[in-house]
Amino acid sequence: MSACLGAVVGAPVTGILIVFEMTHEFSLVPVLMIGALESQTISRKMNRQIFYDALLTQDGHQLEHIRPPHDLHSWQQLPVSAIASFRPVMLRSLDSAEIQALLKAHPYQRFPVEQNDRLAGILARKEADLAQAENRAPKLEPATTCRREQTIRDLQHLLIESASQFVVVLDRPEGKVIGLVTLHDLLRAEVEKSKGDNE
């Protein structure tokens, strides 16, 4: 049980502790540790993702695993492209059928809208539903943008100011949309950094 749980959810220590708490048998701990070690080795060779990451992928979320540098100053000087997602889910037109198809296919709350190869704004899911119900064109929110070569330090300030909690990455000022950076992307990258610092 311990080996199975540890392999599926990627938490071998948790599996050991749960079984130990259930049995209160100290003599089981060495065997549980060996089982956890073997199950982790097999699991990492067979599965690309742990159970929870697989569920997020199944629901349409794109997961990016970031390994930032240990030094905070050098981390903040990295370009935005180091943590950006370059597969943004976006609208190319405000056609009603296209909006409905996008909302059905993806669970996100906001989508960048690009028209004539230029960023037009951000469409919120709530506004899209309201516009459909009222049979009118949806209103777009202003977008917060940056360029891929700007630093993560710049990005942090932009994310604080962004009402949509993400920043659209452009190839040049007033240029094409090439990616997105969400608050979640930044926080996940910073958690990875703190883990690396503690190792």
pLDDT digits (tens, 9 = 90+) for 108-151: 899 999 888 889 999 999 999 999 899 999 999 999 999 989 99
Which among 70, 68, 109, 117 is positioned nearest to 93, based on CA atoms?
A: 117
Residues of each domain in the chain carrying CATH 3.10.580.10: 72-198
Strand partners, 91: 113
- The pLDDT-based confidence of 84 (bands split at 50, 70, 90) is confident
Q: State whether the Cα torsion 165-166-167-168 is positive or negative.
A: negative
CB contact at 8 A, 68 and 192: yes
Q: What is the mean pLDDT of residues 169-180?
A: 87
CB contact at 8 A, 113 and 119: yes
CB contact at 8 A, 142 and 125: no
Q: Which CATH superfamily hosts domain 72-198? A: CBS-domain (3.10.580.10)
The pLDDT assigned to 195 comes to 64
Residue 126: partners with Cβ closer than 8 Å, 6 or more residues away: 109
Quick check: 14 pLDDT over 70? yes
Structure tokens at 180: 């997105």
Helix (H) or strand (E) holding 193: helix 183-198
Count Cβ atoms below 10 Å from residue 97 Cβ, excluding itself.
Answer: 8
What does the longest C-alpha to C-alpha distance in the chain come to?
Answer: 69
How far apart CA 172 and CA 181 sit, in angstroms, is 16
Q: Per the confidence metrics, is the pTM higher than 0.75?
A: no
Report the C-alpha dihedral over residues 16, 19, 21, 27, rounded to 10 degrees: -80
Quick check: 184 pLDDT over 90? no
CB contact at 8 A, 138 and 123: yes
